[in-house]
Structure 1
Amino acid sequence: MPDHITRAGRRLAYHATPGRGPGVVFLGGFKSDMQGTKAVALEEWARTEGRAFLRLDYSGHGESEGAFEEGTIGDWTADALAVIDAATTGPQVLLGSSMGGWIALLIARDRPELVAGLVTIAAAPDFTEDGFWAGFDADQRAALARDGRVALPSDYGEPYVITRRLIEEGRDRLVLRAPLSLPVPTRFLQGTADADVSVETALRLLDHAEGPDMRLTLVDGADHRFSTDDLLRLIERSVAEVIERATA
């Protein structure tokens, strides 16, 4: 059973594995949850390493309360920060997948004292603007203005309902339009066959961010799920390298 904290009237679920620091915090993607393959596999790896590990569900995701359609990037970042503040001690290595990569970058920018290192998997910074909004046709933009929402087909199940609030609030959270300092060891992982986040996005992030120890690894043929055994081992090695360099 998960543990819980309450933020903004909603119970947020999380699993915290005790261990030595710096701990690792897994931040999941848009409409995903902490029971996903990567989150669970990395938790098991951390346990065998004796490393503290935290996985969590944002509001409207998984076992946390709230309606998904009411959430925004800012809400989910605040959820993550509330759980990190409650369940961890000292700087953490943030491990962000897809939207979780954007959230990790926001935390690194706004709460740098919490961050010992950063690993992202198919990071999707600014996707509400550069993905959804940029991809909407005139009819979809009109529907968003008129109805406050538009439904998009998804390869992962039921359609995504994208709200006007998600788009508009996301504009206050963009990280690729202003300086982004990442002074900690940082590893970006990206598949070349990712249909949701392009290699161009990964290259743009690498070019835009500033830091003394940033590397981008492109994996030929890897898709957005990034969850085969080989790719999980790559994530583990990347986290271990970041920890080693952060504690050197």
Structure 2
Amino acid sequence: MSNPSFLTTPQNRRIAYHQTPGAGPGVVFLGGFKSDMEGTKALHLEEWARARGAAFLRFDYSGHGSSSGDFLEGAIGDWFEDALAAITTLTSGPQILVGSSMGGWISLLVARVVPERVAGFVGIAAAPDFTEDSMWDGFTPAQRRELAGGQVVLPSEYSDEPYIITKRLVEEGRDRLVLREPLELPFPVRLLQGTADVDVPPSVALRLMDHATSPDLRLTLVKDADHRFSTPDCLDLVTQTLEVLLDG
């Protein structure tokens, strides 16, 4: 495995990335909450991009993977700034953003600021506004009191380590919500969603589909697929979706 390259953002955060040269529009993978660029979907897409000759970028948000920073000090706005810096600095021309879970929210924030740099968006169990609609709204009164003290600890189904949710993550996320005001997406949008996803249920994809404005927005539901969306069939669906967008 090759060592990553690094980009220093305007906020002086050091972002690790791997970039595959190729033809455009390029594809950029934006990972999920507490995930890194060495995950199954990111590596699968890199292999596909190499075989196709497509430009591809994967990176770690600050506090994630090989990038600088402490995860517990980060928030949605920080990770959006990291993504914006990576996309605008490391790529040229319009890109297809592939956002997994939280990466879907980050992609929408990027698209809202630089729509001219977005050729399309593929959301994989996209989770816009999850700090408010999933975390805060789902907290018990006791958990809300605990969060007021600085942080609350939640169990994780994906790791032995629990999720530590900070007060800043939730409060800063309220300044980044995308489902409370018009969301113009002037490019093709494809939402891929598993019906067995308990972390980001299909209702989230349906709400995003109903809320956003796009000339070409489609939702594909995959029966029994879970939040990881990483079975061979699911991975093939992601690349097939990208093939159609690139060839269309």
- Alignment TM-score, normalising by the size of structure 2: 0.97
Q: In structure 1, how many angstroms separate the alpha carbons of the residues matched to 2:69 and 2:112?
A: 26
The alpha carbon displacement at 1:244 in A equals 2.5
Aligned residues of 1:187 and 1:242 also touching (Cα < 8 A): no
What residue number does 1:242 align with? 245
What residue number does 1:120 align with? 123
What residue number does 1:3 align with? 5
The alpha carbon displacement at 1:9 in A equals 2.9
Identical residues among aligned pairs (%): 66
What residue number does 2:193 align with? 190
2:203 aligns to what SS in structure 1? helix
Q: Which moved more, 1:2-11 or 1:112-121?
A: 2-11
Q: In structure 2, how many angstroms separate the alpha carbons of the residues matched to 1:167 and 1:97?
A: 19
Counterpart code for 1:121: I
Q: In structure 1, how many angstroms separate the alpha carbons of the residues matched to 2:15 and 2:214?
A: 33
Aligned residues of 1:186 and 1:242 also touching (Cα < 8 A): no
What residue number does 1:152 align with? 154
Counterpart code for 2:247: E
Q: In structure 2, how many angstroms separate the alpha carbons of the residues matched to 1:82 and 1:166?
A: 20
The alpha carbon displacement at 1:78 in A equals 0.4
2:162 aligns to what SS in structure 1? strand
1:212-232 per-position Cα deviation (integer Å, ceiling 9, x unaligned): 100000000000000111111
Counterparts of 1:12-51 in structure 2 under 5 Å? 12-51=15-54
Is 1:70–2:63 an aligned residue pair?
no
Aligned residues of 1:117 and 1:243 also touching (Cα < 8 A): no
- List, as ranges, runs of 4+ consecutive aligned residues in structure 1 with deviation greater than 3 Å: none
Q: In structure 2, how many angstroms separate the alpha carbons of the residues matched to 1:84 and 1:50?
A: 19
Q: In structure 2, how many angstroms separate the alpha carbons of the residues matched to 1:183 and 1:238?
A: 18
2:81 aligns to what SS in structure 1? helix
Q: Structure 1: give runs of 5+ residues left out of the alignment.
A: none
Q: In structure 1, how many angstroms separate the alpha carbons of the residues matched to 2:246 and 2:129?
A: 27
What residue number does 1:132 align with? 135
1:26 aligns to what SS in structure 2? strand
**Aligned Cα RMSD in Å?**
0.8
Aligned residues of 1:4 and 1:12 also touching (Cα < 8 A): yes
Q: Tell me how many residue pairs correspond in the alignment.
A: 244
Counterpart code for 1:135: G
Q: In structure 2, how many angstroms separate the alpha carbons of the residues matched to 1:184 and 1:86?
A: 21
What residue number does 2:203 align with? 200
- Alignment TM-score, normalising by the size of structure 1: 0.97
The alpha carbon displacement at 1:97 in A equals 0.2
Counterpart code for 1:150: V
1:83-129 per-position Cα deviation (integer Å, ceiling 9, x unaligned): 11221111100000000000111111121011011101000000000
Q: In structure 1, how many angstroms separate the alpha carbons of the residues matched to 2:189 and 2:244?
A: 10
Counterpart code for 2:200: V
